[in-house]
Structure 1
């Protein structure tokens, strides 16, 4: 099953070469599986690395970027398709509708907001698509500890806690996402957003 994989990640490269390596590896894995990358449309940082690697591996790549960020995130003009939208909400909705699974690589505030929104939308029943973190070089360790605390303190239910797929190995994570996507049954309903 060829997947449309939504990847959230930084428009910066971060402080470890492992971050860029992971972004490139995910892009290659998407291409090798005959999948499509859906991402934020930028040409720089991890965003650019995952897109370039996916393209080089033969994947279709859909970028979605608001007009206001075209210069800031340096919109990637070499994609299969680049959608320029008016707002961040339009960007996130277009990416959600075009994707079968969601995965966050290392990134900053925007990456966290996007992956948590997809996890929240999953909990609220807007979609039944897998949501995942690729925990590269321990980047998400503290966030995962906070998530465990939120669960222990009664703010995240057991099913929702277990719904977040976490792995440190990109090929294994992609296999887990493919399996989870095959089990997803509920239709999307973004009409009430």
Structure 2
């Protein structure tokens, strides 16, 4: 399964690199993120514990959900909103990339115990990758607003909250000690 997952993300990285070369500069950091995910899926620790199969499948569905937004692109927003959306996308992707680098061999798409990451952005918030993904998705929606896209964003955030809960359950006691040191799950001073 790891090899198949890695191949998928490597193909995505290639497609995003192609988009970057065709004049879509925001696709370059997305290509880097996808490529690093492919590498991490091949070079990672085996899980000590994993979530149930339905939860693992739901996690994969949640990871792929933002791709559905491309099916409902709204009309381009006015230039200031598009610029804000691009900035938010870039910040979100860079945060997710930083989180993925910090995760190292503990990375996975589905909830599993491969150890804790406590460096980089994980020193301040417990789930920075999900925050980065949500920021990037929200930025995309600012650029191309649509009701369907907003619905997908809400579904992605709700599924991220479920994934967080499932991950916290799988990680067990070590995670509870980490959570006592790092208070915020995704948004400092909020949650």
* TM-score clears 0.5: no
Question: Which one has a larger percent helix, Structure 1 or Structure 2?
Answer: 2
Greater fraction of residues in strand: 1
TM-score, structure 2 as length reference: 0.28
Larger CA Rg, structure 1 vs 2: 2
Higher relative contact order (Cα pairs below 8 Å, separated by 6+ residues): 2
